[in-house]
């Protein structure tokens, strides 16, 4: 096949690609990172580039205006190279950051009574060996092993070949005094179950030297990492960063599609491993720890994220019957996974339940404590998907609703992520219908003008518009109201939240009928999930004595508004509780204690998964919930009262 | 540091090396393999090359004649590059081959009652899984694992990340019918001791498809490999090849020295791994097996060979107090070791006892059956070292004597390895003192003239010369005899075995007083070993009811002559038995059966090792044995009779 030269104007490196290659592949080859939030499906239009010389065959221009096309714009992911071309890359949309920074993170309580000797799977010990003599010619490894075996009361210890190669040198360097880190099975285990040597250093360490572990949550959007001193149990650093995979797809489905093409899986793997390794570096720097001293890692995340981290094929997750490759990942070593910590460190990917109820949810249930309580609890994690668990110490049922990314600002004309310039809260005057709002990043020395509306802002706005009568039960905009804020737009009735004179880009920020429809469907999917869960165990939803909300999104939801919208069930406010990142906290608990880890396993195996896409009741419940707040107003007495 | 260009005339690739590099390193870089039997110590003189332009600094010219030096010859391992040079590489001595070929190898008996289901650690099973549906969304790995667990009656199975990545594809390719190979612990083991998945293939295999294993013996000189059908237990191919490490040192000490310099250890590792991989290919070709279908390997060899195979530092083996890095190697995987068989195959390096009593000896004891018998047995493996074991089912003592390489032809003027042209047997006329001899390779269509004398020839020659009175008890040549065969040479009295007119090189082949001295010390070391072993347990040596001789050298020893020399104890001939390669046979038994492997472990731990270099009795016994046959003639009644 002939090769063609592709030159991108923002780099001077021309690349050679064969006929039929995509411009997005050529860009990757040239080190130019095009945004591909939709995973390269031609749906989002964010990878548009301009061909300035030569031409390409455009498979789809769906997301481009006729003017764009006339000016030579194409979608990188849809443009097939058939000759030499020069390409102009417009500035790519930057991902702005609004992460929980560790600096401001709350102190994490060490579980009471934490005892590393009893609770930890890893143990460090300093031992002094008898040096060999002509009367005692035992080999180095046996000499070390037998001493360690006595120390930990087990009859077998394994070691990797790589570590075994260093044993003789370390013993002599330390003059037969060494510090060893072991990972060992439960004491009740049979003598043949070996302990494993993770690390060996010359000289005797003291208990003041920290022994490090990391708890990681891989979110589709954000990766969080806690650096933990395993001896005290204290979290010494909390860091978070956007998952670098975002540039290859914003939701799990886009990522799975991207992973299935060419070396997409390896790219995604490198990106998330890179994200974790960067976080390890950053956390270690903060407390002057060495990554090589991290001897244990627990990793939580949704099922897709775990698959992509491990380079496991993820395609079956999105295809009926929605079966993941693995829910319970065997214990791995850091060098297998590619983490830049001690290569022998155990990497424990926590167990998930199903394709769309992953380790992040089981870890969330663990850290929420709901599985230890007789109280019936509803646990909810809203993001692109809404995963929920209903239950108690006796039983647990779970499901996932594909809410779509509306709450993350996608599919909404002026929707955006919760970053600087996003309207995050709106109040609408009940007589004038004039809004007031709060913008993320405002309140500092520099003025921040609104650019769009994020998820919490959308919830707040819709609820206010409903309560004030701008929206009716079906989500229609009442354009007969006497205010310039309501009008007919291209997509039907719309409400103007901010005038162009007030916004950064100079355009009006609006909420359209179509936006409302999308948001209605998203909230209906979640509420229908609650209904089915409750229904499946024959427990009325209002029996739930607590509603626990996890995930970073949860933190910003205004409960009153969410209830008015019909997103959350109508219950006394004191039953609601926001837990923040329950996934990383669950990983932290599993990192610390053998018992918590076993408990997590037990939770995963006890959770009954209900597949909604196969459940006719779900469609009924969904339809009934596609109203503000619901067809059955008796389920929302507080809303009825507010309307009255 | 400035770089210099070194050009070897037998290759057109010039290489760049810094000031101070050795010519031998430059040669390696250029892909020119110089012989270095002494391991690069300047002792053997076999790496001599001629500098034809430029000059080098020669650290030692000990092994070169004044004429050689005048002609520009230097030792590659001693020549320091200090400027650009061109080097002529004379033809390197080729290693000739005299190996047990598989074509002629005896059929190996499968141990009676071999039952793969009961005896094997690996098991293959064909399973049919229920395909996933919307009502049964179990993840792929659990679906497979649970079925396999039921099949083998265990509650846990582990899998490597690499294999896990293939599970989903294999299940679907086989339409939910697959064949799995598992390695699993004893049934008595606790449920937490996991079985390990080694291989997974689409489709159902039948019992007619073979399941392969290999048993390997890594000798210092020769590597032997048996390809075994694990279902029937039958040895389907036997192959052997010189250990490619020979070019870097002929004995273990030279190799250890070579391994300790620069990347010597990696070179030696690559060479022996390459040797094994070549043998795997060859064996597989013969029976149309695929290397990837080999799922298990057992490896025997002396302690140094095992260290070099695994890339473990070996220096401590040759330094007092002679401690190896490891006697009991943990179970490894083929990909860790670098073997080109199934990457997940278990590689089981068999246990040794000490630096100079390795797995080859424990495997030898296992295959000899001496540890199962109440009869007191003496087991002997003679090569460069003489390793020996005395004992029965009740007790086992062992030692190693550094006999030196005299029996392999080194340190003897006309000594050589047992290859084509070597005199392997000599008879001396008791009145005329005229010899007759048998030469290796003779008897074919082409005449083979003698070039030197190999080990069995030296034993035979010395015994004959002693019995006929040419040598006295002390090994002095009686030069007063009336025959041109005895004369004064440069090294004292000598005996002419072949005149120059009869030999290939046209020079006389002689046995000198110095040669005799070296051989006397070698045989005395071995006999002293017997004495000390017997002494250490208070059992007279003649109580040994069997003398079992292992190793390839043993096969060619004439017992009568060896007794006359005082190398073997004076016992009725029927007590002697030659077993051939007991090491690879032991590896074969351990490959087949869990019980044999446990027995081997038991043998290794029961063997009491006696360190001779720390034992004053050894020096006494050695001194007493430095005579023909011994100072105490009452120990050699049959020899006394022959002399009379």
pLDDT for the residue A100: 41
Q: What mean pLDDT comes out for the span A518-541?
A: 94
Task: Say if residues B421 and B449 touch (Cβ distance below 8 Å).
Answer: yes
- Closest-CA distance, B327 to chain A, in angstroms, reads 6
What pLDDT, on the 0 to 100 scale, is given for residue B94? Answer: 43
Interface A–B counts its CB contacts (< 8 A) at 151
| Model confidence at B95: pLDDT above 50 | no
Interchain proximity B323–A139, CB inside 8 Å = yes
Give me the pLDDT at residue B25, please.
87
Greatest Cα pair distance, chain B, in angstroms, is 103
Task: Flag if A321 and B609 touch (Cβ within 8 Å).
Answer: no
Residue-wise pLDDT for B373-404, tens only, equals: 999 999 999 876 789 999 999 999 999 998 77
Contact B409, B429 (CB under 8 A): no
Q: What is the average per-residue pLDDT within A151-170?
A: 93
Report the candidate in A611, A618, A520 with the shortest Cα–Cα distance to residue A567: A520
Report which of B127, B202, B144 is spatially closest to residue B172, judged by C-alpha positions.
B202
- Side-chain-side CA neighbours of A28 within 13 Å: the count stands at 20
Q: Do B321 and A159 touch (CB under 8 A)?
A: no
Model pLDDT, residue B13: 79
Residues present in chain A in total:
644
Between the alpha carbon of residue A459 and those of residues A453, A555, B557, the distances in Å are 10, 13, 95
Q: What is the pLDDT of residues B427-478, one digit of tens each?
A: 898 889 999 888 888 776 778 899 999 888 999 999 999 999 999 999 999 9
Q: Indicate the pLDDT class of residue B490, thresholds 50, 70 and 90.
A: confident
Q: Which residues of A touch B193 (CB under 8 A)?
A: 189-190, 192-193
CB burial of B440-467 (b: ≥16 within 10 Å; e: otherwise) equals bbbeeeeeeebbbbbbbbbbbbbbbbbb
Q: Does B263 touch chain A (CB under 8 A)?
A: no
Would the CB atoms of B140 and A189 count as touching at under 8 Å?
no
What are the pLDDT digits (tens) for A91-127?
A: 765 444 344 443 445 678 999 999 999 999 999 999 9
The answer to whether A139 contacts B169, with C-beta atoms less than 8 Å apart, is: no
**From residue B41, how far is each of A407, B37, B44, B121, B260 by CA, in Å?**
75, 9, 8, 45, 12
Contact A394, A509 (CB under 8 A): no
Contact present, B359 and B306 (Cβ < 8 Å): yes
Q: Are B42 and B249 in contact (CB under 8 A)?
A: no
Query: Using a CB-CB distance cutoff of 8 angstroms, which residues of chain B are in contact with residue A330?
Result: 158-159, 161, 164
Q: What's the pLDDT score for residue A474?
A: 94
Sign of the C-alpha dihedral, residues A513, A516, A518, A521? negative
Q: Is B6 helix (H, G, I), strand (E, B) or coil?
A: strand
Q: Answer whether A509's CB lies under 8 Å from A390's CB.
A: no
Written as six digits, the tokens of A578 are: 């926001």
Identify all chain B residues contacting A325, using CB atoms and an 8 Å cutoff.
139-141, 164, 167-168
User: Quick check: B97 pLDDT over 60?
Assistant: no
Chain A partners of B351 at a C-beta cutoff of 8 Å? none
pLDDT > 70? residue B220: yes
Provide the pLDDT for residue B384. 67
Q: Say yes or no for a CB contact (<8 Å) between B137 and A609.
A: yes
Query: Can you give the pLDDT at residue B31?
Result: 81
Contact A316 B140 (CB under 8 A): yes
Mean pLDDT of chain A: 90
CB contact under 8 A, A326 and B192: no
pLDDT computed for residue A631 by the predictor: 94
| Burial per residue of B29-65, b for 16 or more beta-carbon CB atoms within 10 angstroms, e otherwise | ebebebbbbbbbbbebbbbbbebeebebebeebebbe
Tell me what percent of the residues of chain A surpass a pLDDT of 70: 94
> Which CATH code, of 2.30.110, 3.30.420, 3.30.70, 3.30.450, is assigned to B363-401+530-617?
3.30.420
Nearest to B320 among A134, A336, A354 (CB): A134
How many Å apart are CA B563 and CA B639, to the nearest integer? 8
CB contact residues (below 8 A), chain A span 313-332, against chain B: 313, 316, 320-332
pLDDT(A316) > 80: yes
pLDDT in tens, A613-644: 878 899 999 999 999 999 999 999 999 988 88
Task: Indicate whether B37 pLDDT > 70.
Answer: no
Instruction: Enter the tokens of residue A120.
Output: 């930890």
Comparing CB atoms, the residue among B189, B193, B325 nearest residue A140 is: B325
Mean pLDDT of A213-223: 94
For A347, nearest residue in chain B (alpha carbons):
B161
Separation of CA A620 from chain center:
30
Pick among A121, A132, A161 to test the B interface (most B CBs inside 10 A) = A161
Partner A, chain B 178-217, Cβ-Cβ below 8 Å: 185-186, 189-190, 192-193
Q: Under CATH, to which class is B3-88 assigned? A: alpha beta
What does the pLDDT average to over A206-211?
87
A362 touches chain B (CB under 8 A): no
Given a cut of 90, is residue B484 above it in pLDDT? yes
Identify the residue with better confidence: B188 or B644.
B644
CATH of B116-202, one of 3.20.20.70, 3.10.20.880, 3.30.429.10, 1.20.1050.10: 3.10.20.880
Kindly report, residue by residue over A328-379, the tens digit of the pLDDT.
999 999 999 999 999 999 999 999 999 999 999 999 999 999 999 999 999 9
* pLDDT score of B103 more than 50: no
Residue from the list A137, A336, A355 with its beta carbon closest to the beta carbon of B322:
A137
pLDDT of residue B92: 65
* A156 touching B (Cβ < 8 Å): no
Residues contacting A644, CB < 8 A, separation 6+: none
Task: Identify which has the larger pLDDT, B392 or A410.
Answer: B392
Query: Chain B 129-148, CB below 8 Å of chain A: which residues?
Result: 132-142
How many whole angstroms separate alpha carbon B554 and alpha carbon B576? 11
A327 with B139: Cβ contact below 8 A: yes
Are A614 and B135 inside 8 Å of each other by CB?
yes
Measured CA to CA in angstroms, residue A620 lies from A163, A450, A615, A623, B328 at distances of 59, 38, 9, 5, 66
Q: Cα B352 to the chain's mean position, in Å?
A: 14
Q: Under an 8 A CB cutoff, do B325 and A133 touch?
A: no
Closest chain A residue to the Cα of B332, Cα to Cα: A161
Q: What global pTM score does this model have?
A: 0.85
CA distance to partner chain B, nearest, from residue A324 (Å): 5
Task: Say how far apart CA A73 and CA A51 lie, in whole Å.
Answer: 6
Contact A134 B354 (CB under 8 A): no
Distance from CA of B148 to the nearest CA of A (A): 15
Is a pLDDT exceeding 50 seen at residue B102? no
pLDDT score, position B120: 95
A137–B613 CB contact, under 8 Å: no
> What does the mean pLDDT of chain B come to?
90
Question: CA of B429 to nearest chain A CA: how many angstroms apart?
Answer: 49
pLDDT value for A78: 87
Q: Please tell me which of the candidates A137, A142, A328 has its beta carbon nearest to residue B142.
A: A328
Which residues 6+ apart lie within 8 Å of B66 measured at CB?
none
Q: At a CB cut-off of 8 Å and minimum separation 6, what does A576 contact?
A: A547, A549, A559, A568
User: Tokens standing for B392?
Assistant: 């029965």
Position B187 scores a pLDDT of: 66
Q: Measured between CB atoms, does B609 come within 8 Å of chain A?
A: yes
Q: For residue range B57-79, what is the model confidence (pLDDT) as tens digits? A: 888 777 677 778 888 899 888 89
Q: Which of A294-303, A511-520, B559-568 has the highest mean pLDDT?
A: A294-303
Chain A interface disruption, residue of B136, B137, B144, B269, most A CBs within 10 A: B137
pLDDT band at A43 (very low <50, low <70, confident <90, very high): low
The verdict on ipTM greater than 0.90 is no
Q: What's the mean pLDDT in A150-178? A: 94
Position B351 confidence tier, pLDDT thresholds 50, 70, 90: very high
Chain B residues with CB under 8 Å of A357 CB are: none
Percent helix, strand and coil across chain A, each to the nearest 5:
35, 25, 40
pLDDT at residue B104 in the model: 46
Residues of chain B with C-beta less than 8 angstroms from the C-beta of A610: none
The answer to whether residue B338 neighbours chain A at the CB level (below 8 Å) is no
Token pair belonging to B65: 């004649």
User: Predicted confidence band at A465 (pLDDT cuts at 50, 70, 90)?
Assistant: very high
Contacts of B142 in chain A (CB under 8 A): 326-328
Q: Domain-by-domain residue ranges, chain A?
A: 3-88, 116-202, 212-349, 363-401+530-617, 406-518
Distance in angstroms (rounded) separating the CA atoms of residues A381 and A389: 9
Contacts of B158 in chain A (CB under 8 A): 330-331
Neighbours of B259 (CB within 10 A): 28
Of A531, A541, A519, which Cα lies nearest the Cα of A610?
A531
What single DSSP character describes residue A236?
A: E
List, for residues B280-332, the tens digit of each pLDDT value.
999 999 999 999 999 999 999 999 999 999 999 999 999 999 999 999 999 99
Query: CATH topology of A3-88 equal to that of A116-202?
Result: yes
Q: Note the CATH number of domain A212-349.
A: 3.30.420.480
Residue A8 three-state SS: strand
**In whole angstroms, what is the distance from residue A325 CA to residue A329 CA?**
9
Q: Which of A58 and A476 is assigned the larger pLDDT?
A: A476
Scanning A10-29 for CB atoms below 8 A from B yields none
């Amino acid at each position: 096949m002939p090769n063609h030269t592709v030159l991108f104007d923002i780099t001077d490196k021309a690349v050679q690609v064969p006929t039929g290659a995509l411009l997005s592949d050529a860009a990757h080859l040239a080190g130019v990172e095009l945004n591909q939030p939709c995973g390269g499906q031609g749906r989002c239009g964010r990878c548009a580039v301009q061909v300035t010389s030569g031409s390409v065959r455009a498979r789809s221009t769906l997301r481009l205006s006729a003017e764009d096309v006339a000016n030579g714009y194409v979608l990188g992911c849809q443009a097939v190279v058939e000759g030499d071309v020069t390409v102009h890359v417009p500035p790519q949309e930057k991902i702005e950051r609004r992460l929980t920074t560790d600096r401001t993170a709350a102190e994490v309580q060490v579980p009471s009574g934490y005892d590393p000797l009893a609770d930890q799977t890893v143990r460090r010990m300093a031992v002094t060996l008898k040096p060999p003599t002509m009367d005692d010619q035992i080999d180095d490894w046996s000499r070390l092993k037998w001493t360690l075996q006595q120390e930990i009361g087990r009859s077998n210890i394994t070691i990797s070949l790589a570590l075994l190669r260093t044993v003789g040198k370390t013993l002599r360097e330390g003059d037969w005094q060494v510090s060893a880190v072991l990972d060992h099975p439960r004491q009740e285990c049979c003598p043949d179950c070996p302990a494993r040597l993770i690390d060996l250093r010359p000289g005797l360490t003291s208990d003041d030297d920290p022994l490090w572990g990391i708890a990681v949550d891989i979110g589709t959007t954000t990766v969080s990492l806690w650096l933990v001193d395993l001896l005290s149990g204290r979290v010494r650093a909390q860091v978070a960063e956007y998952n670098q995979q975002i540039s290859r797809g914003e939701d799990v489905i886009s990522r799975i599609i991207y992973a299935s093409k060419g070396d997409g899986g390896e790219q995604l793997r490198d990106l998330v491993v890179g994200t974790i390794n960067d976080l390890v570096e950053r956390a270690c720097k903060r407390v002057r720890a060495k990554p090589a001293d991290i001897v244990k890692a627990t990793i939580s995340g949704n099922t897709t994220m775990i698959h992509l981290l491990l380079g496991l094929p993820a395609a079956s997750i999105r295809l009926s019957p929605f079966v993941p490759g693995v829910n319970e990942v065997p214990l791995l070593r850091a060098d297998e996974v590619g983490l830049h910590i001690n290569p022998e460190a155990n990497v424990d990917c926590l167990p998930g339940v199903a394709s769309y109820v992953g380790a992040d949810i089981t870890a969330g249930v663990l850290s929420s404590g709901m599985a230890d309580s007789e109280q019936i609890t509803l646990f909810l994690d809203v993001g692109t998907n809404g995963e929920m668990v209903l239950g108690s110490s006796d039983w647990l049922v779970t499901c996932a609703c594909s809410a779509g990314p509306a709450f993350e600002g996608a599919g909404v004309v002026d929707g955006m992520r919760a970053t600087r310039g996003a309207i995050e809260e709106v109040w609408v005057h009940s007589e004038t219908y004039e809004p007031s709002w709060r913008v993320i990043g405002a309140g500092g020395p520099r003025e921040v003008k609104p650019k769009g509306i994020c998820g919490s802002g959308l919830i707040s706005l819709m609820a206010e518009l409903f309560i004030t009568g701008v929206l009716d039960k079906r989500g229609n905009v009442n354009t007969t109201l006497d205010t310039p804020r309501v009008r007919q737009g291209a997509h039907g009735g719309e409400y103007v939240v901010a005038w162009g004179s007030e916004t950064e880009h100079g355009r009006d920020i609006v909420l359209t009928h179509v936006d409302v429809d999308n948001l209605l469907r998203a909230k209906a999917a979640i509420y229908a999930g609650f209904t089915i869960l409750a229904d499946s165990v024959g427990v009325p939803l209002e029996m739930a004595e607590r509603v626990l909300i996890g995930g970073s999104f949860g933190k910003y939801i205004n409960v009153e508004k969410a209830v008015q919208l019909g997103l959350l069930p109508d219950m006394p406010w004191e039953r609601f509780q926001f837990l923040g990142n329950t996934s990383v906290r669950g990983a932290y608990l599993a990192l610390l204690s053998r018992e918590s880890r076993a408990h997590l396993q037990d939770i995963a195996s006890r959770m009954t998964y209900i597949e909604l896409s196969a459940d006719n009741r779900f469609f009924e419940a969904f339809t009934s919930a596609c109203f503000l707040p619901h067809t059955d107003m008796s389920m929302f007495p507080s809303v009825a009262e507010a309307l009255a």
